[in-house]
A and B are shown apart, each in its own frame.
Chain A
Amino acid sequence: MGFELQGNRSGYSDAQLELMDSLHPLLDKHCPRSRIRGLIEDNNSATPDPVWTQLAEAGWTSLLYPEEAGGKGLGIAEMSAVLVEAGRFLLPGPFFTSAVLTPLALAAAREGSAADLPGIGGVASGQRIASLALYEDPSVFPTPKIEATVQNGHISGVKRFVLDAAMADVLIVLAKDGSGDLVLAWVPSPAPGINVLVHPTMDGRRICTVTLDRTIVAKTLPVSGAGLQKLMLRAAVLVASLQIGGAESALALAVEFAQTRVQFGRPIGAFQAISHRLVDLYCNLAVGRALVQKAIRLADDDAFPDAASRAKTWMNDTYRAVTKGALQTFGGIGFTFDHDIHLFLRSAYALGSEFGTSTDHHRLLRPATRAA
């Protein structure tokens, strides 16, 4: 990864730093940016990127799964640190949906144990891939409007913006049961009635539309409205963690360039127009990092929803601002496909619409409440 900015390690516990440091060499070796560039050109693969197997073998996929399901039983503080590191490398799916969203969703279930789900052990270990199908219209945040229905052990409906569904061994589908209550349906895939369409996307994520037509459901878990809200906001904070990492990398690229690119007889970072822009981006990123860390700290507190929305909103705006400013710093070369900086620009706009746009979170924050 090379050059790293001061401040990337601020505010984390020793345990969090150890996780980051431990994950770093694996991603450095197995997650080159050329892979991400490749996914932007063609994201329609049936198999996961090689880094997924490495992560599974090294035990990273089981972090959030409960111990009784074969996982490590860790929490979002640990996963946040892991995702900051993952964000630094633009880690592609299915890690986020299989190792983060899925265990978060299962934890939101009102009753029933994740341990009872068939094949859960394989999902936790990374031998199998799970994909969470939440939305039918993701512009409705945080309370998705659900039409998909489970009846007599079969599920029908259309789910959209499902990550990595085409390579999933099981879909976890948010649906209604016969009484209209919310459930999570454990749906092995592929299976009769399932049709998956992978969309071409700006950042190479495999966003899928999944059509289900009387597909067999292996098991359902009831989920409460409150549980769902908690899932959405926790996911938002974890996306914000990815955003921190991505912003750090983008900014580091720009700063390194400003140190070395010579024009008018000196490195361009010697000009205040360049250096001041980078400083402002750096400072805003520092505030964003602190807001995410605060939200993580308040994960079990009444103040969490407020803190989560602030963290996500701030990082939405800051990741975008950092990547735009970074690209501008590169001048002409920043406009080329082969240069890496646009990968972060795409990521910033992608993650800025995942689990709440700034507008969505502003709506939640007004009347503006202040953390105690």
Chain B
Amino acid sequence: MQRLQLLQPEDRAFYEEACDWLDKHLPPFVAAHRGSERDTDAYLQMLKDWQAEMASGGWVGVDWPRQWGGRDATGLQKTLLGFALSERKAPPPLWKQPADQVGPPLLRYGTPEQQQAFLPAIIRGDWVWCQGFSEPDAGSDLASLKTRAEPCEGGYLINGQKIWTSNAYFATRMWLLARTDSKAPKHHGISAFILDMKSPGVTVQPIREITGRHTGRQLFNQQFNQVFFDDVFVPQFNRVGPENEGWKVCKTTLVRERTSSHNLDFARNTMRALRRFLDDPLIQATNENPEAVFAERMLQVDMTIDGLEELFQQSLQAILSGKATGGESSILKLLGSETRKTAAELALEVLGPYGQLMGGSPEAFKKGNAGFEFLRSRACTIGGGTSEIQRNWIAEHVLGLPKSSDLAD
């Protein structure tokens, strides 16, 4: 990482310690697990093994308190660990979602018994987690969710449906938001639960995305499932935080200062995809032909990528020197995702009829990737907050405009 000199000594020490540990432990791990991508079960096992390895070094849940297995790391230090991992192309972190989303609520609102029952298990990786938030009728307007949690003897009965649930196919626990009071204003009738995905009444159905893939059966890709709940029992013990305060509970984070780096991974992946697009020999050939009708559009995409890369570097610099505001990563998410779509559209058009040949065709250009990337990239402006919602966020938090009145309360 080029900007070590921007860091405070303790942050630099943290980063270097992480790098040293990874340089020692990652290569033998990778060697021992070669071939694990051959099937999903082997891949999942590898991810679990990687978590065990990381936990043995104290690198899981680094921002948690020490008594629960963390290092009391700051948000910046957690980000630096992320840099160290991605620089070395370490396996995806199976613990990230529970450590970031379930841990803080438990630490803040959990009883000592709940903390004992769940926190060490998250560090150890006893379970694979998924997040049960979005519903068919509750996407951008998540607070309007309708999945019910009705009190019963010893706990609650869950009825309803979740959608876009990543990892649900493999998950053994779900971090669930469900409605416990239908009469209260929508944000005030929701409760948070830890649900055992193997409970009777839980049905997981992978969604087939427009590319044709059943991504629900994949891990750590853009992947979607539906989850149906039919009188699923959740014990009282598994409700986290007070009843009807789930909205507040699930927003708990440990980070005291704003890291503003939550869109950074997305931005980094987007930059990589865009740079691959520009480096593609066919695209370069189009560039060099001044008669090509696409040259103007190509230039526009190229310049946008150029500017976004510069903004990305500035954003990193701001994060490392503690001056980030959050505006930078929102711009990157909004423009980056739009540009990724534009680039994919351009590539497909440039290929003309050959762009229509998909994977499996012996004459497909680059194994039919252009068509696939075009279809897949439609999700970039939808997932992780739609472009419309991003614009609302920027309007409110960066431009200081009033909260959108298009959003009924």
Chain A residues in contact with chain B, CB under 8 A? Answer: 5-7, 10-11, 255, 258-259, 266-267, 269-272, 275-276, 278-280, 282-283, 286-288, 290-291, 293-294, 310, 313-314, 362, 365-368, 370-371
Contact = CB atoms under 8 A, between A and B. Distances in A.
Contacts of A314: 303, 307
Nearest to A317: B300
A287 B298 contact: no
Contacts of B403: 270
Given A366-B295, A368-B298, A368-B299, A259 B311 contact: no
Interface stretch (B89-97, B167-175, B389-397): B389-397
A288 to B, nearest CB: 7
Given A286-B311, A287-B311, A293-B310, A269 B395 contact: yes
A365 B310 CA distance: 19
B401 A259 contact: yes
Contacts of B308: 287, 290
Given A291-B307, A294-B306, 17 more contacts: A11-B310, A255-B400, A267-B402, A269-B402, A270-B402, A272-B391, A275-B392, A275-B401, A278-B401, A279-B395, A279-B399, A291-B306, A313-B303, A314-B303, A366-B299, A367-B289, A368-B287
Given A258-B401, A275-B404, A279-B395, A287 B325 contact: no
Contacts of A370: 278, 302, 306
B314 A290 contact: yes
B2 interface: no
Given A293-B310, A294-B306, A269 B334 contact: no
A258 B403 CA distance: 12
Interface in B355-409: 388, 391-392, 394-395, 398-406
B303 A291 contact: yes
Chain B interface size range = 35 or more
A270 B306 contact: no
Contacts of B334: 279, 283
Which residue, B295, B398, B403, has most C-beta atoms of chain A within 10 A? Answer: B398
A272 B304 CA distance: 24
A368 B302 contact: yes
B374 to A, nearest CB: 21
A72 B331 CA distance: 37
Interface string B310-339: 110010001000000101100100110000
A367 B310 contact: no
A255 B401 contact: yes
B303 A290 contact: no
A319 to B, nearest CB: 15
A310 B401 contact: no
A259 B400 contact: yes
Which residue, B296, B298, B327, has most C-beta atoms of chain A within 10 A? Answer: B327
Contacts of A272: 388, 391-392, 404, 406
B10 interface: no
B405 A287 contact: no
A270 B398 contact: no
A367 B289 CA distance: 7
A303 to B, nearest CB: 11
Contacts of A270: 401-406
B307 A7 contact: no
A255 B334 CA distance: 19
A282 B314 contact: no
Which residue, A278, A291, A314, A367, has most C-beta atoms of chain B within 10 A? Answer: A367
Name B's interface SS: helix
B87 interface: no
A266 B289 CA distance: 52
Nearest to A5: B399
B350 to A, nearest CB: 13
B313 to A, nearest CB: 9
A286 B318 CA distance: 15
Contacts of A267: 401-402
A367 B287 contact: yes
Given A286-B331, A291-B303, A266 B399 contact: no
A314 B295 CA distance: 16
30 contacts: A6-B327, A6-B399, A255-B401, A258-B399, A259-B401, A269-B399, A269-B402, A270-B401, A270-B402, A271-B404, A271-B406, A276-B391, A276-B395, A279-B391, A283-B334, A286-B331, A287-B307, A287-B311, A288-B307, A291-B303, A314-B303, A314-B307, A362-B296, A365-B299, A367-B287, A368-B287, A368-B298, A368-B299, A368-B302, A370-B278
Contacts of B154: none
Interface string B151-167: 00000000000000000
Contacts of B310: 11, 290-291, 293-294
A10 B314 contact: yes
Which residue, B296, B392, B405, has most C-beta atoms of chain A within 10 A? Answer: B405
A301 to B, nearest CB: 14
Contact of B314 (A11, A255, A279, A366): A11
Nearest to B402: A270
Contacts of B302: 368, 370
B290 interface: yes
A40 B263 CA distance: 46
A279 B307 CA distance: 17
A294 B312 CA distance: 12
B39 interface: no
Interface string B188-208: 000000000000000000000
Contacts of A294: 306-307, 310
A276 B405 CA distance: 13
Contacts of A362: 296, 299
B285 to A, nearest CB: 10
A124 to B, nearest CB: 33
Contacts of B287: 366-368
Contact of A290 (B288, B307, B325): B307
A287 B303 CA distance: 9
Given A270-B405, A272-B388, A283-B335, A10 B328 contact: yes
A278 B310 CA distance: 22
A271 B405 contact: yes
A280 B399 CA distance: 11
A313 B299 CA distance: 11
B110 to A, nearest CB: 37
A276 B388 contact: yes
A248 B402 CA distance: 20
Nearest to B387: A276
Contacts of B304: 287
Which residue, B287, B306, B307, has most C-beta atoms of chain A within 10 A? Answer: B307
Contacts of A11: 310, 314
